[in-house]
Amino acid sequence: MSLEEIANCKVKNYLSKNFARIKAEAKLSEALGKFSRGIDTLVVFHRNRYIGILTETIIVRSRLDPTKTKCKSLAVKAPKVFVDDNLAEVARLIIENDIKNLPVFKGKSLVGTISDKILLAAIAKGNVRETKAKDVMTAEPISITEDTPIRKALSIMRKKNLSHLPVVDEKNRLVGIVTMHDIVVKSIHPLDRAKRGEIIAEKIPELNTPIANIMSYPPVVISQEEYVGNAARKMIVEDISSLVVVNKRQKLKGIVTKKDLLQLLLKPLLKERHILFSYAKSGEIQHLSKIELKQIEDRFTKFANKLFANSSYVHCFIFIKKHKERHWKRALYHVRLRVVVDGKLLVAHSNGYGLLNAFLNTLSSLRKQLE
């Protein structure tokens, strides 16, 4: 089955029934009880009004008291999809909203859920042989060495908006990989718990400790010539969200993420060049008006039309932070862009008084990289 055929498949043929409804006022402890019985996703309702979705991972990462916290406080407002939507629409919503699970409705009735893993399984089962890892990978990704402190790795991830960093030796040979999840689970959360007196006599990796202490080894790899169907299968089997691309001598060549594979479901359906925008949830995005969003998207589109005229697909990830500092009643903003163009990653950031000014400064920084 080709990518275009997979992209056109209907949601009703792929949805999962392994879900349950839960009331918004229910405690997280009730939700954890449902997860312990094998439920994958909970869909939160207030009476008959859809509120959002909830997964076990969301609850665990929150570190909130499950006996006191209500489900509505952690429910993620995931967009609805419908049984007759196609998988391309699901991929678009998952990417644009930076989310893993979506509720599936038939009219007003909840009938299932669909996830990024289901889309990966569709790509794997389709045995796609039209696209190789080298066609979708981010070439020459940012990497670190084994002696890089955890603190520095965390700083790089935050500044560059990355969730994975390959670890290499002095000859650029792959020796491991570290993820944001590794840092949070193995270092940040234990340190927080130790400060609260919850951990005693346990050795915790300090943030100045070398990354070698928490990196995953051996990393799961793929060659440049392997097909994306095989890449999807490896991610499913290993339950990971990225694969490191190496050559025969184990030298780092690139990285393929789950998002890279999902984007493949969009490409066959694009009749003309498409620009996809995604926004970091942790930034200022929830406070911006539709007019402000349209302004920055229009400016980027104009920029991309000039500099990426020969590219068929551009993905722009935007992080915005508003500072307290002001000048002539205009707030200081920090804008960070992560742009993927034909598998190449570009990262730029800048500041400015007023959102549009900060955004234009960031585009100027990006332009300099391309000159």
Give me the CATH code for the 3-125 domain, please. Answer: 3.10.580.10
Average pLDDT in the chain: 88
Q: What pLDDT is attached to residue 160? A: 80
Is pLDDT of 198 > 50? no
> Which is it for the CA torsion 347, 353, 354, 357, positive or negative?
negative
CATH no. for 133-263: 3.10.580.10
Q: Is the pTM of this model over 0.85?
A: no
Tell me the DSSP string of 134-161: HHHSEES---EETTSBHHHHHHHHHHHT
The model's confidence at residue 314, banded by pLDDT at 50, 70 and 90, is confident
Looking at residues 77-106, what average pLDDT do you find?
A: 92
Domain regions of the chain by residue span: 3-125, 133-263, 270-370
Check: CB of residue 143 under 8 Å from CB of residue 182: no
113/263 Cα distance (integer angstroms):
20
The verdict on whether omega for the bond into residue 218 sits within 30 degrees of 0, i.e. cis, is yes
Instruction: Give yes or no on whether 133-263 and 270-370 have one common fold.
Output: no
For residue 341, is pLDDT > 90?
no
Strands ordered across the beta sheet of 221-223: 138-139, 252-257, 242-246, 221-223
Backbone angles phi, psi at 324, to 5 degrees: -75, -25
C-alpha distance from residue 337 to each of 292, 304, 365 (Å): 16, 13, 10
Q: What is the CATH number of domain 270-370?
A: 3.30.160.100
The share of the chain scoring above pLDDT 90, in percent, equals: 61
Q: In what order do the strands lie in the sheet with 109-115?
A: 81-82, 101-106, 109-115
* C-alpha distances out from residue 295 to 207, 256, 301, 364, Å: 39, 31, 10, 16
For residue 180, the model assigns a pLDDT of 87
Question: pLDDT band at 201, cuts 50/70/90?
Answer: very low
